[in-house]
């Protein structure tokens, strides 16, 4: 082999990127693990070793079950709506029933919300949900259903679902577009062969198109699950966890402990928890997809 000449240069391609990832992603994560064993604040230089106390305080915190519940709600609903419904929508957009131009316009419109910054969408929905001047209550009143008016973000039982709904509004089109792209990659001959075999549209979708786009589906699922446990900006720009603690999530809890409650150790412990959840979920999904492949 011509290895002699090339065994030096290949690493030059790899090392810069690798070092960036190691230095600014992995090292902070490891440092974070260390911090989680200390009591420290952002402005004082002293650190006090407290062992696993931060974890104890995290898991016994009254907010902990609420946060976990909210993150899981977000995750499950996003999987159903963004990935599930988004994929269904992509199938509709790739079906031959509607005109090409019309479908392209629809697809682009669905994608637009994901181009708007999270804070902009958060501020916007703050208005939409506003009980006094918001769009939702005004609409309900105008169509004669004033009795359905709600406080929305101010209601303990609704707040987190309002935030979740906002995210679905924003990101379903994103997943749809990614899936459309994957479907366009399915070789036409396969689909045509299936048509000749007399397969209806439903069967074509289930047995030809979806299996061939499996990898993309997996990527979308992983992105969605990780995103659900990273959730921060959506809540920060709307309820900031309220009313009470009802819409608190892990990401915001971490942030508030780090920069509001002078409790970096607790923040780091929360970070470790997020880390464990996202990594486990990703590995789990990869495993499932592998076993399905064989």
Partner 1 sequence: MKKNLKKTLSIGLAAMMALSLAGCGGSDTSATPAAGDTAAGGEASQAAPASGDVKTIKLFHRFPDDPCNAFIEKKIAEYEAAHPDIKFEVTSAQNQPYKEKIKVVVGSDECPDIFFSFCGEFSERFIREGLLMDLTPYLEADPEWKESLMETQMDEYTTADGMVYGIPFRLDAKEFFYNVDMFNDLGLEVPETWDDFIKVLDAIQASGVVPIAEGNQDKWPGAHYLGALNEQCVPDEVRAKDYDPKTGEFTDPGYVEAFKYYQQLVPYMNMGVNGMTHDMARLGFTNGQNAILFAELVEITNIKQENPDMNWGMFKFPVIEGAKGNPDLVSGAPEGFAISSKTAYPDECIEFLKWFLGPETGAQQAAEVGWFNASLGVDEGLTDPSLVSAYEVIANAKKMDIWFDNALYSTVCDEYLTQISDITNGDVTPEDAMAKIQKVAAEAQNLAQ
Partner 2 sequence: MSTDKYVLKTRIFKILLYLFLILLVGIILFPVCWLVLNSLKTNQEMFLDSLALPKKWMFENYITAWNKGLVSYFVNSIIVGALSIGIILALSSMLAYGLTRFNLPGSGFIFILVLGGMALSEQVALVPLYKILQALKLYNTRAALVLPYVAFRIPFTMFLMRSYFISIPKELEEAAIVDGCKSWQRFTKIILPISKPVLASCAIVNLNHVWNEFLFANVFLEDKKLMTIPLGLMTFQGDLKSDYVVMLAGILICSLPMVLLFLCMSRQFVRGLTSGAVKG
Given the rule CB under 8 A, which residues bind partner 1? 7-9, 11-12, 14-16, 19-20, 39, 41-45, 57, 62, 129-133, 151-156, 239-240, 242-245, 256, 259-263
Smallest separation (angstroms) from partner 1 to the CB of 152: 6
Indicate the residue among 97 and 133 with the shorter CB distance to partner 1: 133
Q: Does 186 bind partner 2 (CB under 8 A)?
A: no
Nearest CA-CA partner of 200 in 81, 97, 99:
97
Q: What are phi and psi of 39, to 5 degrees?
A: -105, 120
Cα–chain-centroid distance for residue 246? 20
Q: Return d(Cα 58, Cα 274) in angstroms, integer.
A: 12
- The size of the interface with partner 2 (CB under 8 A), counted in residues, is 94
Greatest Cα pair distance, the chain, in angstroms, is 80
Which CB sits closer to partner 2, 115 or 294? 115
Is 177 one of the binding residues for partner 2 (CB under 8 A)?
yes
Within 213-232, the residues that bind partner 2 by CB under 8 A are 215-216, 222, 226, 229-230, 232
Residue 94 interaction partner, one of partner 2, partner 1, none, beta carbon < 5-8 Å per kind: none
Residues 6+ apart with CB under 8 A from 159: 152, 153, 239, 242, 243, 246, 247
Q: Of 157 and 291, which CB lies nearer to partner 1 in the complex structure?
A: 157
Task: Give the shortest CB-52-to-partner 1 separation in angstroms.
Answer: 15
Among 60, 100, 101, 115, binds partner 2 (CB under 8 A): 115
Q: Nearer to partner 1 by C-beta: 39 or 204?
A: 39
Q: Are 110 and 177 in contact (CB under 8 A)?
A: yes
Examine residue 44 and tell whether it contacts partner 2 (CB under 8 A): no
C-alpha distance across the termini of the chain, in Å:
33
| Residue 162 is a binding residue for partner 2 (CB under 8 A) | no
Helices (H), the chain: 3-6, 9-21, 27-35, 53-60, 63-78, 86-94, 100-111, 118-128, 135-142, 159-184, 188-196, 201-204, 210-212, 214-230, 233-236, 250-259, 264-293
Range 4-12 contact pairs with CB under 8 angstroms and sequence separation of 24 or more: none
Nearer to partner 2 by C-beta: 133 or 294? 133
CB nearer to partner 1: give 158 or 175. Answer: 158
Q: Rounded to whole angstroms, how far apart are CA atoms 241 and 63? A: 10
If binding is defined by CB under 8 A, does position 188 make contact with partner 2? no
Which of the residues 85 through 104 are near partner 2 (CB under 8 A)?
89, 92-93, 95, 97-98, 102-104
Task: Note whether 147 binds partner 2 by CB under 8 A.
Answer: no
């Amino acid at each position: 082999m011509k290895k002699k000449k090339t065994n030096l240069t290949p690493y030059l391609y790899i090392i810069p990127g690798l070092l960036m990832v190691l230095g600014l992603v992995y090292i902070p994560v490891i440092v974070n693990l260390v911090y989680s064993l200390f009591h420290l604040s952002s402005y004082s230089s002293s650190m006090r070793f407290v062992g696993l106390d931060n974890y104890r305080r995290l898991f016994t915190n009254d907010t902990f079950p609420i946060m976990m519940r909210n993150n899981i709600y977000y995750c499950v609903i996003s999987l159903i709506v963004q990935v599930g419904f988004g994929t269904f929508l992509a199938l509709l957009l790739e079906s031959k029933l509607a005109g090409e131009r019309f479908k392209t316009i629809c697809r682009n419109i669905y994608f637009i919300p994901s181009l708007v910054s999270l804070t902009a969408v958060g501020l916007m929905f703050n208005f939409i949900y506003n009980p006094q001047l918001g769009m939702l209550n005004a609409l309900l009143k105008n169509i004669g259903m004033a009795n359905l008016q709600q406080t929305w973000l101010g209601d303990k039982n609704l707040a987190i679902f309002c935030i979740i709904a906002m995210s679905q509004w924003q990101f379903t089109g994103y997943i749809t577009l990614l899936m459309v792209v994957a479907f366009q990659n399915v070789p036409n001959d396969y689909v045509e062969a299936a048509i000749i075999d007399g397969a209806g549209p439903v069967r074509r979708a289930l047995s030809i198109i979806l299996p061939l786009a499996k990898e993309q589906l997996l990527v979308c699922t992983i992105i969605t699950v990780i995103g659900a446990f990273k959730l921060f900006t959506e809540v920060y720009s709307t309820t900031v966890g309220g009313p009470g603690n009802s819409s608190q999530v892990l990401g915001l809890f971490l942030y508030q402990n780090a920069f509001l409650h002078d409790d970096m150790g607790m923040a780091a412990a929360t970070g470790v928890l997020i880390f464990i959840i996202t990594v486990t979920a990703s590995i789990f999904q990869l495993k499932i997809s592998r076993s399905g492949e064989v």
